[in-house]
Structure 1
Amino acid sequence: MSFRDDSEDARDLRKPFLHTGSWYRMGSRQSSILGSSAQVIRDGSVSVLFCVLVVALGPIQFGFTSGYSSPTQDSITSDLNLSVSEFSLFGSLSNVGAMVGAIASGQMAEYIGRKGSLMIAAIPNVIGWLAISFAKDSSFLFMGRLLEGFGVGIISYVVPVYIAEIAPQNMRGGLGSVNQLSVTIGVLLAYVLGLFVNWRILAVLGILPCTLLIPGLFFIPESPRWLAKMGMTEEFETSLQVLRGFDTDISVEVNEIKRSVASTGKRVTIRFADLKRKRYWFPLMVGIGLLVLQQLSGINGILFYSSTIFSNAGISSSNIATVGLGAIQVLATAVTTWLVDKSGRRLLLIISSSVMTLSLILVSIAFFLEKVVSEDSHLYSILGIISVVGLVLMVAGFSLGLGPIPWVIMSEILPVNIKGLAGSLATLANWLTSFVITMTANLLLSWSSGGTFTIYAVVAAFTIAFVAIWVPETKGRTLEEIQSSFR
């Protein structure tokens, strides 16, 4: 498997995606820039924030897809006469579609750009939700879920990469964390709306993020680093000028990006064999390692079966408790968005993994003790409360670092000339691990709740060591500085 940067002829095919809604430069550098939104967005930080808010609609769609199955299980199985195994297949098919989307995401983002990829990803999401909302049997449900997953697989790679490539270095961590914050908001929206509307109307509401994303893409510029890599010098400088503000001197950043692109070489074929070089395999190992450990912590299994876990712990209103868990995720991720550019990536990852380790140990001990304590005793009720508190702390700890930061670091450390291939591999590894965890979590919980959380605690403890030994600090450094350090 390899990818080759495009020729002049291929570039012509990309033009509809490159210039849709972008600002053009005509004539000299000081010429007017077209586009109605360019007249509104004059300040650099406001421009970048607007771009991030537009593409954040993609992760909201991602989160809504993930959260949809939790509040709808009973009603869908009842209305369509599905078995538990059929609904479990429905829930996991989004992971299968996301794996296919992850494989395509890197190549697509390299060939037609970040904006074009997001536009394409939005289409199967819309079709998928419509298929679910009008489903009369399981076949339409499964088809819709696969289509949603495919779009989400592309979104999960492209959005953090786009944000990292447009953000100033002092804001990149916080803006990059908006990706995961949007995912948690999408999950919470699905949980809350699922309390009030039936599953068909909820599926129709799922269309909204992508129907807003598509027109929004017409009002934001393409990634300047991608344009520079493609040799589109005028478009690259115009895009960067819009993002930094029309009164900002961008000459230093322009030269830095040009040097980085020149050193990697534009027309180069990257193959799997090339990834053996240390300047490539080390950042790829860090990126894949963080994204795999993120899922091996068991987070998706815990969130997917949170209602069951709460019921086992003696909580009667398990759906409302699940909504509360989603709210905690949003709040903790919002804290990370504020802290990540102040405290740094490594510190937050170590704190996050430490909190997860301790809370998972607490939950596992509580479940082990419940096996030997009488259900009528006061201690049994206390152990149930302890397990719920531990679970909430685990989710809060995850959201504080291990949830958002691996995506930020992956988008920062992969060199520009291998980002398509390596980014696809890292995203695929994340979704494959998510699929395995989601499929095995229920079996493990049936085997032993205490044993399951012990396994997850061991993974969280290993994550502390992994971050301390191998993960570099990227706070306050440009992408070019980060990537050149691996040479």
Structure 2
Amino acid sequence: MTDLGLSIQQYSVFGSIMTIGTMLGAIVSGKAADLIGRRGAMWLLETFFIMGWLAIIFAKGAWWLDFGRLPLGFGIGIHGYVVPVYIAEITPHNIRGGCSAASLLMVSVGVSLMFVIGNVVTWRTLAVIGTIPCLVQVVGLFFIAESPRYLAKIGKERELEATLLRLRGKSADISKEVAEIRDLTEMLQRLSESKFLDLFERKYAHSLIVGVGIMLLVQFGGSSAISYYASSIFESAGCSVGVGTTAMAIIQIPFSILCVFLMDKFGRRPLLMVGAAGTCLGCFLTGLAFLLKDFHQQTELTSIFGLAGILVYIVFFSLCLGGTPWVIVAEIFPINIKGAAGSLVNLSYGFSSWIVSYAFNFLFEWSSAGVFFTFASICFITIIFVAKLLPETKGRTLEEIQASMIHLHQSDTVLR
């Protein structure tokens, strides 16, 4: 973007402003999904994606770029909630994790392709390429079914059964699943009118702590900083930017694919704990690289540790942390508060992402080693958080998970 003459400060704003849009999108994501349905919310987010790309394509100054990034972030804020929720609500419990991971695999593939293509085309051309999948998805949404649990929530009984038959197959026995969805939906709607303040009732406390907590820890563990500023990190460590970003792009794909198969085999808790340990190691190696640089050690060792640390981080993030938290959030909240909970969790994710992405350059200038050692410490805390608070959701229906979360909190209250 040097042809637009961006200063370092403008570049930092450009890097972080998308997270402001993400926060705004997060605020409305749950309400939008409840008011216009899961499909309607997905149409909405694609509209904002297209608006953002068009603004970047026709950019004539820095403010055009910032304006383009803002609606892109808004779309991401809605996407981060509604897509995992939609997938969780339409898939059978035994393959729910794998299907959610497959969706996030496609995101990783897209990001990787943009990294690789971005090395050989101009940024305007890259923005044009970015609009293509958005247009494809706008058309594709006409051909997918609405969430059966959303249909139950709004009282469309006939559509509920017809949609489940469409999803499970015309000869499938859906009577048990229909009964479970109806029973829990009716019970929850009797208990609550799904106001925002309902989120803070004691029975939902455990779900809220888990959902918000895991998002904050993943973000403060450095994910946005490494994703947005990888080129600057590689350059500062003495690595080839082209080699580093291309290696990042290539390495994400196989490990994201592996995540699809591991999600329902080993469960969410083991993946999150292994992922947190791996990203902790990656941040520690990167911090060590910059510590050696501070002591004027040989450049070769600094660049090796720097490259190795970032790649280790990307491996474990792609394998375990990129998608698993979103799967957890889609599973643990009951349908009656899912919209409000999704907005709050998404807002927490967006706000923490903005803090990290905006502050990173200043922290990196203050102490390049210190910021990565801080990330490593937070990744270590994530291991303890998951071990102590996160229940295993593998192989259980959404109704079973949500009922158990309420029961778990009630049990904790009694013990205290």
TM-score interval (norm. to shorter): over 0.9
Measure, in 1, the Cα distance between the counterparts of 2:54 and 2:199: 41
Q: Which amino acid aligns with 2:359?
A: T
Q: Which amino acid aligns with 1:77?
A: T
Measure, in 2, the Cα distance between the counterparts of 1:372 and 1:88: 27
Q: Which amino acid aligns with 1:214?
A: V
Instruction: Report deviation, 1:276.
Output: 3.0
Measure, in 1, the Cα distance between the counterparts of 2:314 and 2:125: 29
Contact 1:163-1:172 within 8 A present in 2 as well: yes
Measure, in 2, the Cα distance between the counterparts of 1:374 and 1:468: 38
Q: What is the match of residue 173 of structure 1?
A: 97
Contact 1:229-1:266 within 8 A present in 2 as well: no
Measure, in 1, the Cα distance between the counterparts of 2:192 and 2:44: 26
1:197 maps to 2:121: yes
Among residues 125, 128, 133, which one is paired with 2:52 in the alignment? 128
Q: Which amino acid aligns with 2:267?
A: G
Q: 1:276 to 1:154 in 2, by over 3 A?
A: closer
Among residues 67, 70, 77, which one is paired with 2:2 in the alignment? 77
1:485 maps to 2:410: no
Q: What is the match of residue 111 of structure 2?
A: 187
Contact 1:77-1:87 within 8 A present in 2 as well: no
Contact 2:277-2:383 within 8 A present in 1 as well: yes
Instruction: Report deviation, 1:306.
Output: 1.4
Q: State the TM-score, normalized to the length of structure 1.
A: 0.81
Q: What is the match of residue 465 of structure 1?
A: 384
Measure, in 2, the Cα distance between the counterparts of 1:82 and 1:373: 31
Measure, in 1, the Cα distance between the counterparts of 2:177 and 2:300: 60
Q: 1:266 to 1:221 in 2, by over 3 A?
A: farther
Question: Which string of whole-angstrom CA distances, capped at 9 and with x for unpartnered residues, describes residues 400-452 of structure 1?
Answer: 21211000000000111000001100011001111111111111111112111
Question: Which string of whole-angstrom CA distances, capped at 9 and with x for unpartnered residues, describes residues 95-144 of structure 1?
Answer: 11111111011000001100011111111211221121112223322222
Q: What is the match of residue 306 of structure 2?
A: 387
Question: Which string of whole-angstrom CA distances, capped at 9 and with x for unpartnered residues, describes residues 359-380 of structure 1?
Answer: 32233233223322444xxxx4
1:256-295 map, 5 Å = 256-265=180-189, 268-295=192-219
1:303-382 map, 5 Å = 303-315=227-239, 317-375=240-298, 380-382=299-301
> Structure 1 runs of 4+ off > 3 angstroms?
none
SS in 2 for 1:269: coil
Q: Which has the higher contact order (CA 8 A, sep 6+)?
A: 2
Contact 1:302-1:441 within 8 A present in 2 as well: no
Measure, in 2, the Cα distance between the counterparts of 1:400 and 1:123: 30
Question: Which string of whole-angstrom CA distances, capped at 9 and with x for unpartnered residues, describes residues 327-380 of structure 1?
Answer: 2122222111110100010011111111222232233233223322444xxxx4
CA RMSD in angstroms comes to: 1.6
Measure, in 2, the Cα distance between the counterparts of 1:199 and 1:364: 31
Q: What is the match of residue 210 of structure 1?
A: 134
User: What percentage of residue pairs aligned between the two structures are identical?
Assistant: 44
Q: Which amino acid aligns with 1:107?
A: K
1:402 maps to 2:326: no
- After alignment, is 128-137 or 262-271 more displaced? 262-271
Q: 1:422 to 1:291 in 2, by over 3 A?
A: same
Q: Which amino acid aligns with 2:16?
A: S
Q: State the TM-score, normalized to the length of structure 2.
A: 0.94
Which has more helix, going by share of residues?
Answer: 2
Measure, in 1, the Cα distance between the counterparts of 2:5 and 2:288: 39
SS in 2 for 1:206: helix
Aligned length: 406
Measure, in 2, the Cα distance between the counterparts of 1:276 and 1:291: 18
Among residues 210, 218, 223, which one is paired with 2:147 in the alignment? 223
Q: Which amino acid aligns with 1:330?
A: I
Instruction: Report deviation, 1:266.
Output: 6.4
Measure, in 2, the Cα distance between the counterparts of 1:291 and 1:178: 20
Measure, in 2, the Cα distance between the counterparts of 1:366 and 1:156: 33
Q: What is the match of residue 27 of structure 1?
A: none
Among residues 428, 441, 459, which one is paired with 2:347 in the alignment? 428
Q: 1:366 to 1:146 in 2, by over 3 A?
A: closer
- After alignment, is 290-299 or 302-311 more displaced? 302-311
Measure, in 2, the Cα distance between the counterparts of 1:127 and 1:325: 28
Among residues 18, 31, 53, which one is paired with 1:94 in the alignment? 18
Greater Rg over alpha carbons, structure: 1
Question: Which string of whole-angstrom CA distances, capped at 9 and with x for unpartnered residues, describes residues 146-195 of structure 1?
Answer: 12211121111110000000011111001111232222122112112212
- After alignment, is 199-208 or 472-481 more displaced? 199-208
1:455 maps to 2:377: no
Contact 1:292-1:430 within 8 A present in 2 as well: yes
Gapped runs of 5+ residues in structure 1?
1-75
- After alignment, is 113-122 or 140-149 more displaced? 140-149
Measure, in 1, the Cα distance between the counterparts of 2:59 and 2:51: 12
Q: Which amino acid aligns with 1:358?
A: L
Q: What is the match of residue 441 of structure 1?
A: 360
Contact 1:336-1:401 within 8 A present in 2 as well: yes
Q: Which amino acid aligns with 1:137?
A: G
Q: Which amino acid aligns with 1:318?
A: V
1:246 maps to 2:170: yes
Q: Which amino acid aligns with 1:411?
A: A
Among residues 137, 142, 151, which one is paired with 2:75 in the alignment? 151
- After alignment, is 471-480 or 119-128 more displaced? 119-128
Measure, in 2, the Cα distance between the counterparts of 1:348 and 1:159: 21
Q: What is the match of residue 410 of structure 2?
A: none
Q: 1:195 to 1:383 in 2, by over 3 A?
A: closer
Measure, in 2, the Cα distance between the counterparts of 1:292 and 1:179: 22
Q: What is the match of residue 63 of structure 1?
A: none
